[in-house]
Amino acid sequence: MTAALTLLRGLAHRAGTTAVILLVALCATAAAAVGPTYYEAAKDSILQDTISSVSVVDRGLEAVAQGPAQNSIGTLRANVDDQMQRVVGSRSRTDRMFDADVLAVETTRFFTATGENVGLVWRTGVCGHLRLRAGHCPQSVGDIIIATSLAALNGWHVGDVLSPAGGTQLRVTGVYVPPPATDDYWFARGSVYFPNEIVASIANRENANPYDAMFTPQSTIDALHGNPQGTTVVSRVLHPQRVQPTDVDVLSRVAAHMTTSPVFAGQVTIITGLGNMTDTVHASWSALAIPVVVVTAELLVLTWLLLFLVVTDAVEARGTEIALAKLRGYGAARSVVFGLGETVTLLVVALPVGAVAGWLLTEALGKLLLRSGTPIGLPALGWAAAAVAAVGGAAAVIAAARRTLRRPVVEQWRRTGRRATDRGWVFDAVVLTGAVAGLVQLAVTGTFGSARRSALALLVPGLLGLAVAVVGSRLLPLACRAAYARTRRTGPLGPFLAIRHIARRPGGTRTTMILATAVALATFSMAAWSVGASNRSRVAQVTIGAPTVLTVAPPLGVDLGAAVSRIDPSGKHAAAVDTYDSGQGVLLAVQPSRFAAVANWKAAAVGDPGHLLSQLHPAAPAPIVVNGGEFRAHILVGRFNPAGVKLSLDVVALGSSAPTPIGLGVAAGAGPVVRTGSLAGCPCVLRDLQVESAAPGSTQLAGQLTLTGLEIRSGGGAWRPLPGVLDASRWVDSVDQQVAVRPSGGGIRWSFFAPVGTLPTLRVLDRPEPLPAVASTAFAGGVASMTAPGLDAGNLRVNVLRTARTIPSAPADAVVVDLDYAVRAAYNNLLPATQQVWVRGSDTAIQHGLKAAHIAVISRTTSQSLDDRFSRQGPGLASVLFLADAAAAAALSALAAVLSLAASARRRRYEYASLGATGASRRTLYSALAIEQTVVVGFGALLGVAAGLGSVWLAGANVPNFVVAPARDLLRHRPSVVLLIGVLGGALVLLLAAAMLAAAGLLRSVSPEQLRESQV
């Protein structure tokens, strides 16, 4: 008890030193605890971010079995459950991770009258995911609900009883509005249930079943005659908030097991992207794990060095007390306990307090950096790391105190001591060798100086800083010694004293070394952070394309471009953009001037987007719109070889996914023909006139005809000629040979030769042909004329007028064309395309405008949100951790340096008192102290900045900024000079100011009266 009281009184007596040691020890334990704590929390944040950003297929699994529709779902469900339990281990864990499973049985019913084969589906909880326009949910055997499209197509209503083939009658109890098929509930079956809304691609579109499914209770399926063939489905989707980092490995094994289990082989198809998701999560975790270890290790070593520095001074100050203990008969062990008791007590206190402080710091960091709602606890590893820091700190304390503890009592009193053997060079040589060896190893493994990115690059600043600091700190005393003679001969007393103190003070070297290393770390971390933040922002901006991108679904027939032009008359805030990604390239159909104003061109490093896009919209004829119930064509058929041709026109209804051919019959010989036909679903766009040989088998065809008139009428009224039809400049034949299209006798004369396999087509020209385009440099590959994907997923011929290295939203493989012309080229078939509105500035007004125009906004994405998500990935989180910890370490090192200098100067108070007594002015003494502190601190800081910048030059480009590296063209590796100068300069000024204040404070306590105090 008395010993404890003595210890506490000692700590209180040395309050300043106690505070500094405790602060450094707290920093060591906190820094150690922050790493694992931050990592565990970041893992959870990354996991939740990933789960919430991937498609439902990547966060769930679906088992699909073909076979009899009845009595099979139970078996499939049991098998799926059983196989999952084998991996997961417990039912409760499975139920925690996954939402309740969704079961479905799918079969079809054929309606003979209409020739329609319509899906009949039982799916658990389906009514909860459908909006009924009429009627109610099916409840009894034979009840069904049908889609609005199916109801409209067949004129079915609620209450109708349908009689499909197979005998079981179905009663319509409700009509549902087809939902977004990508909702989680539908998993991968949305495209099966709602084919009328989902068309996977143009290639199989015409073969797709266009009838949305009928939903019914399970009892209906069970009551079907003859147990028809069908599909049974069991799907389970992760519940994001309930999945924990410890579940990821299990999920990875679940994905692997379920997709390879022999139980399912050949009978059950497992659809899951869980493996992809867990791979992504693991990649992001790995990207964070190494930096956390490296950063924590570097900071731990630095704080241990700091502790060594501080404790050396502190124990030195207790030398007389330790000598007293020895004089009183304390043995070696007791002397050590007495000498180190206070410091070790501080370390013991620092362990829990530092760990908790690290936890609180992580919580604060987490609120800023991690996904909202991420739980942040203090894991066992955090405690262990803090304990390691404390033990390492104790080792540093013992190393620091060793000399004082071993010093004989008499030496302590006489203050002369044995001349210290200069073993400093041994320590320096060991540190230098280690640092250089580390750098060489990193260079050999390609961590820097190559294109390879590795988190081990974070070791470079520590190693280089240490190497530079070791060498540099030895140079300072040498330089001061070189100035001995000069200051002896001339100049004031201040510099004379200062350079001698610097040269002779052994602690100065350690101060310089630690300060330089810490500042090197801080410089590098700041540079790495600024580079990373800038790259993440740039990549996010280029990836998204504009500050805000709204994905919209305009009603059929609504011109998105025109709507956007009305909503934003200024042309500077919104742009309509239709895109189609074929996998090989991305078409961006844009409003050129708006696109130039709204897209993130600065991030794409395009200086003058207006000029880049200026030639995308040359003048072109308008489309020929056919709007009526009947048409009449006047054609003068010339001689064909072989004789006899079938004539047809193609029109495309607005929004239709395919042209509608209108047969004009066969013209057996030459001469004028007049053909009429009916139009359905128009207004339509006249697409082309086609001629086909009437002879059986494929053959070549050559000949000519003249289109002399095309008229329409509605409701049996008068025929009206279609304006512009007889303008020869509006027709083109781009598929045949020996083509001639020219005016002739008030009509258009078309002659051609079509080899075998081609269908002679005279197409209406309503756009530039090919379309003028701007393309990504890499995608164009130096070729001007090329084929790009069209908005209708077909081929689009474009003429690349200009290129840009990076195009917003599709940096390396974009083709930009005019929206109007691209829509015309697709004949208004925009189903495969994604329609967007890009917005710069607030999108509130734009969204209101879209709503007023009945244009639904399906999703909203911003560059900032992607930037935030990048920042929450491993590398982003690591860079902030590095920055925060290195800044703290640098601040701490600076504080320790100032305190060390002050402590050193305090031991010279008698010397200053003597100088004062012999006539040296206070100003002279202050200048001596100020010069000493400025030189030591300034030199250490500048050395650190130099080492930090050297590290940036060596390895700055190797620090990973992304989990998945983007195109190198998007990355820049030059740190913000303004930031570096501002922060480092400011810090240096503060540091020097603190040193000056410490010097002034010290000199205030110096007076000749001290000389009266006795000394041994």
327 lines the binding site for other proteins (CB under 8 A) = yes
CB-nearer residue toward other proteins: 978 or 1016:
1016
CA dist list (Å): 520 to 206, 523, 528, 952, 981: 65, 5, 12, 10, 14
Could you tell me the smallest distance in angstroms from the CB atom of residue 377 to other proteins? 41
13 lines the binding site for other proteins (CB under 8 A) = yes
111 lines the binding site for other proteins (CB under 8 A) = no
559 lines the binding site for other proteins (CB under 8 A) = no
CB-nearer residue toward other proteins: 13 or 602:
13
Residues 6 or more apart whose Cβ sits within 8 Å of residue 725: 624, 686, 707, 709, 710
Distance CA 85, CA 975 (A): 51
Side chain identity, residue 546: A
Could you tell me the smallest distance in angstroms from the CB atom of residue 413 to other proteins? 8
Could you tell me the smallest distance in angstroms from the CB atom of residue 315 to other proteins? 15
320 lines the binding site for other proteins (CB under 8 A) = yes
3-state secondary structure of 686: strand
Distance CA 858, CA 27 (A): 49
Stretch that binds other proteins, among 158-166, 350-358, 702-710, 1008-1016 (CB under 8 A): 1008-1016
CB-nearer residue toward other proteins: 95 or 321:
321
Stretch that binds other proteins, among 191-199, 251-259, 404-412, 888-896 (CB under 8 A): 404-412
CB-nearer residue toward other proteins: 90 or 1015:
1015
321 lines the binding site for other proteins (CB under 8 A) = yes
From candidates 324, 399, 643, 845, binder to other proteins by CB under 8 A: 324
92 lines the binding site for other proteins (CB under 8 A) = no
CB-nearer residue toward other proteins: 413 or 719:
413
90 lines the binding site for other proteins (CB under 8 A) = no
CB-nearer residue toward other proteins: 325 or 533:
325
From candidates 200, 332, 917, 977, binder to other proteins by CB under 8 A: 332
Give the residues across from 349 on adjacent strands: none
Distance CA 277, CA 294 (A): 26
Q: Which helix (H) or strand (E) holds 692?
A: strand 684-693
From candidates 89, 125, 331, 982, binder to other proteins by CB under 8 A: 331
Stretch that binds other proteins, among 10-18, 207-215, 270-278, 908-916 (CB under 8 A): 10-18
Could you give the angle at the alpha carbon of 396 between the alpha carbons of 394 and 397, nearest 5°?
60
The secondary structure of residue 853, as a DSSP letter, is T
Could you tell me the smallest distance in angstroms from the CB atom of residue 478 to other proteins? 22
Q: Report CA 53 to chain centroid distance, whole Å.
A: 10
1016 lines the binding site for other proteins (CB under 8 A) = yes
Q: Is 529 exposed, middle or buried (0-12, 13-18, 19+ CB in 10 A)?
A: buried
CB-nearer residue toward other proteins: 2 or 918:
2
Stretch that binds other proteins, among 103-111, 321-329, 758-766, 941-949 (CB under 8 A): 321-329
Could you tell me the smallest distance in angstroms from the CB atom of residue 6 to other proteins? 5
Expressed in angstroms, the distance from the first to the final Cα of the chain is 33
x/- binding map, residues 349-388, to other proteins, per CB under 8 A? ----------------------------------------
9 lines the binding site for other proteins (CB under 8 A) = yes
Q: Which long-range contacts (CB under 8 A, 24 or more apart) does 486-494 make?
A: 492/924, 492/927, 493/920, 493/924, 493/928, 494/924, 494/925, 494/926, 494/927, 494/928, 494/930, 494/931
CB-nearer residue toward other proteins: 324 or 739:
324
CB-nearer residue toward other proteins: 21 or 277:
21
Using CB under 8 A as the binding criterion, the count of chain residues that bind other proteins stands at 29
From candidates 3, 152, 200, 437, binder to other proteins by CB under 8 A: 3
Q: Which long-range contacts (CB under 8 A, 24 or more apart) does 198-206 make?
A: 199/657, 199/831, 199/832, 201/793, 201/832, 202/657, 202/792, 202/793, 202/794, 202/832, 203/793, 205/657, 205/658, 205/831, 206/658
3-state secondary structure of 751: strand
CB-nearer residue toward other proteins: 3 or 113:
3
CB-nearer residue toward other proteins: 418 or 968:
418
- Return the residues of window 405-424 that contact other proteins according to CB under 8 A: 408-410, 413, 416, 419
| Tokens, residue 815 | 């083709």
User: How many CB atoms are closer than 10 A to CB 164?
Assistant: 20
1011 lines the binding site for other proteins (CB under 8 A) = no
Residue carrying the six token digits 């289109």: 707
Stretch that binds other proteins, among 322-330, 578-586, 862-870, 888-896 (CB under 8 A): 322-330
CA dist list (Å): 395 to 13, 392, 1008: 24, 5, 40
3-state secondary structure 792-817: CCCEEEEEEEEEECCCCCCCCCEEEE
N residues, the chain: 1016
Give the residues across from 859 on adjacent strands: 551
Q: Report CA 1013 to chain centroid distance, whole Å.
A: 68
Stretch that binds other proteins, among 9-17, 23-31, 643-651, 811-819 (CB under 8 A): 9-17
CB-nearer residue toward other proteins: 320 or 795:
320
3-state secondary structure of 266: coil
| Tokens, residue 289 | 């794990």
Could you tell me if 646 and 732 are in contact, meaning their C-beta atoms sit under 8 angstroms apart? Answer: no
Could you tell me the smallest distance in angstroms from the CB atom of residue 456 to other proteins? 48
From candidates 328, 367, 611, 1004, binder to other proteins by CB under 8 A: 328
326 lines the binding site for other proteins (CB under 8 A) = yes
12 lines the binding site for other proteins (CB under 8 A) = yes
Tell me the backbone φ, ψ of residue 892, rounded to 5 degrees: -65, -40
3-state secondary structure of 468: helix
Stretch that binds other proteins, among 331-339, 652-660, 750-758, 961-969 (CB under 8 A): 331-339
- Return the residues of window 22-81 that contact other proteins according to CB under 8 A: none
Distance CA 608, CA 351 (A): 58
CB-nearer residue toward other proteins: 328 or 602:
328
Stretch that binds other proteins, among 190-198, 402-410, 439-447, 876-884 (CB under 8 A): 402-410
Could you tell me the smallest distance in angstroms from the CB atom of residue 10 to other proteins? 6
Strand 761-764 relative to strand 731-732, pairing? antiparallel
Torsion of CA 893, 895, 898, 903, to 10 degrees: -100
Positions in the binding site for other proteins (CB under 8 A): 2-3, 5-6, 9-10, 12-13, 320-321, 324-332, 334, 408-410, 413, 416, 419, 1014-1016
